[in-house]
Amino acid sequence: MISVLAQERLLGAALGSIFTGIVVFEQRRCIYNSISGTKPQPVSRITEPIFGRKTRAELAHLWNKAVDQTFRPVIESLSSSGW
């Protein structure tokens, strides 16, 4: 029987791998579109909804805000120590 800790690590590794795969796929798609003959719209102008009513720009803004709030204490700590 797998322990709970091992299950959590396995789940984290699986989710991390999936997320990394999605990021790599999107980056490769952007690179391919940038070198092909057709010019895609810039990401900031894409307005189709992804999850319900949120657009890509709104989700990117929410993600950046969440990361900033999460790591603010760490950044302030490093800044105060002279890093």
Determine the Cα angle at 79 with ends 77 and 80, to 5°: 65
* Residue 49 belongs to domain spanning: 42-83
Indicate the number of domains in the chain.
2
Dig out the tokens for 81 from the structure.
């120590």
The verdict on 34 and 49 lying in the same domain is: no
Q: What is the mean pLDDT of residues 39-47?
A: 57
Choose between 47 and 29: higher pLDDT: 29
pTM (two decimals) = 0.39
Q: Is residue 53 located within the same domain as residue 70?
A: yes
Q: Do 69 and 34 share a structural domain? A: no
Confidence of residue 22 (pLDDT cuts 50, 70, 90): very high
- 40 has pLDDT over 80: no
Nearest-10 Cα torsion for 28, 32, 38, 44: 30
Residues 62 and 75 reside in one and the same domain: yes
Residues 34 and 2 in one domain: yes
